[in-house]
Amino acid sequence: MHDLAQNIMDNLIPFFDLFILALNIFSIVVLIWGVIMAGIDFLKSERTDRNRIVMARQNNFIKSFLGSYILLSLEILIAADIIESIIKPTFQDILKLAILVVIRTVISYFLHKEIEDALKDKENEIEEKKDPKQN
């Protein structure tokens, strides 16, 4: 029975290697897409004539938007590393995975705070437009 399981795993390893490679490439594509979208938003934002405070708020929102793509890209990398550490468990893979999880957790924490602040700023901006007498 052990030989059968080992034989199946040996036959599946090339498939998993390709899947890991595909996940790594997909992670890069997600990251590049996020950079492109944030760049487009930044260029659109810079073309408008607004005061610097509104532009700074918009830049913070764009930064949070880009951060969400970075975080998604890291999540995909972590998934690929989990699969790799399952099929080829080495200490180096496990250490790399642990470091990635720590980095992802720290980025996620601060990104969540920034997104909350950006949403609050956006809500305040909408409220100011609705009722400018309130402030």
Q: Calculate helix-pair angle for 91-130, 52-87, nearest 10 degrees.
A: 150
94-101 average pLDDT score: 82
Residue 107 has pLDDT above 90, yes or no: no
Contacts of 94 (CB under 8 A, 6+ apart): 85
Contacts of 102 (CB under 8 A, 6+ apart): none
**Could you tell me the pTM of the whole model?**
0.72
Mean pLDDT across the chain: 83
The model's pLDDT over 26-83, given as tens digits with 9 standing for 90+, comes to 999 999 999 999 999 999 888 886 777 778 778 888 888 898 898 889 889 888 888 8
Domain ranges of the chain: 1-124
Q: Could you give the CA distance from residue 41 to residue 38 in angstroms, rounded to a whole number?
A: 5
